[in-house]
Amino acid sequence: MADAKVIPFDDDRSRSGGGSRPVRRRTGTGGGARGEGSTAPVSALPGVQTPSPASPAPLGAPASPEGGAGAQRPGEAGAPTERGGWERRIAGGLAFLRRRVTGDYDVDEFGYDRELTDQVLMSALRPLAESYFRVEVKGIENIPSDGGALVVANHSGTLPLDGLMLQVAVHDNHPAGRHLRLLAADLVFQLPVVNELARKAGHTLACAEDAQRLLELGEIVGVMPEGFKGIGKPFGERYKLQRFGRGGFVSTALRAGVPIVPCSIVGAEEIYPMIGNAKTLARLLGFPYFPITPTFPWLGPLGAVPLPTKWTIQFGEPIPTDGYPPEAAEDPMLMFNLTDQVREQIQHTLYKLLVQRRSVFF
């Protein structure tokens, strides 16, 4: 396989062939309704009062209907609510499967399947974010409640788990329930299975054309300008930002007139400490690098398990772009200054979070 080619984010040329966006597909009219039921306690339901505690009834005495021992038998009060909740969940799950089988669901022009993302993909990633990496999210209010915005984040970790955790962070913590649409390198769309899952999750090719289209549609778009230089850097250079390209993401934000939200991610650098790079093997496989860590490839598949580090994701103050004239997107000096401003803000926040961190794992 040839070396992986990364299409520059600031390449404004139209794409054709295998790298182009998928044809718009509409497989039905079914929406993305969820089938979740309530699991609220009985005491929280309107008109239901929890009986006050009473002295235990004597051994062998019948239970009193007003209270006391045995006053609330299993299945009389709490069971109907719990059973009803599970029934609604099962019914919702069956309805979801029926829509999948019959094709009664929607995807957008980029292949994004919102219902599948909400109900399956996010549910699969959520335990990793909440229980394994214990992701702490700060500054989520800096992402606007409506309209487009460009989230620019640092990139690290040998494997791109930081992008997935960033997606979960926005999905689960934003009060308006915003969804993050990530821009990915073309290598992602060349890998079997990964290609289809990435499209379904809302990822698209990291090029100016797709990014501007999503921003104009009012989407929250995520980009990691370091690319492979960031995710594949040695462990000794952790938390040192690499070059941010030629500022293509700034040009795209200026054309769309949307704010740029800097984002700093701490914790991803240590999940796979990259102590070496088998460059010859990487060229043979067509990868940008082939990582060697303290556990991989020495422990085989077990070495691919990430270390359970503690993560913090902080969204910084938005940088507005709507005050600039239309021709500002062609001003190289302005793009350089804004790119440097975003990069410096992310780097400064990384250092601040590292000082505040007690431990890599706690």
For helices 248-256 and 208-216, the axis angle rounded to 10 degrees is: 30
How much of the chain is in helix, strand and coil states, percent to nearest 5? 40, 10, 50
- Domain boundaries, given as residue ranges, for the chain: 74-105, 109-271+306-356
Q: How high does pLDDT run on average in the chain? A: 82
Over range 309-316, report the average pLDDT: 98
Mean pLDDT computed over 8-15: 42
Compute the average pLDDT of residues 274-282: 95
Q: Is the pLDDT of residue 298 over 70?
A: yes
For every residue of 186-232, DSSP letters joined together read: GGGGGSTTHHHHHHHTT-EESSHHHHHHHHHTT-EEEE-TTTHHHHT
With beta carbons less than 8 A apart as the criterion, state whether 205 and 186 touch: yes
Q: Considering only CA atoms, which of 327, 18, 323, 347 is closest in space to residue 153?
A: 347
Decide if pLDDT at 10 tops 70.
no
pLDDT at 12: 41
Q: What is the pLDDT of residue 88?
A: 86
Segment 57-115, tens digit of pLDDT: 333 344 433 344 344 444 444 444 667 788 888 888 888 888 988 888 899 999 999 99
Average pLDDT over residues 15-36: 39
Identify the pLDDT of residue 89: 83
Q: How far is CA 5 from CA 78, 171, 184, 239, 315, in A?
A: 58, 30, 12, 25, 30
Q: What pLDDT, on a 0 to 100 scale, did the predictor assign at position 52?
A: 39
How do strand 204-205 and strand 180-184 relate by DSSP bridges?
parallel
Asked if 53 and 105 count as a contact pair (C-beta separation under 8 A), the reply is no
CA angle, residues 78, 119, 269, in degrees to nearest 5: 110
Instruction: Give the rounded percent of residues in the chain with a pLDDT score beyond 90.
Output: 68
Using the predicted structure, report yes or no on whether residue 155 has a pLDDT greater than 60. Answer: yes
Strands 291-292 and 260-266 come out as: unpaired
* pLDDT of the residue at 17: 40
pLDDT at residue 2 tops 80: no
- Residue 81: the pLDDT is 60
Contact 28, 102 (CB under 8 A): yes
Whether CATH 3.40.1130.10 fits 109-271+306-356? yes
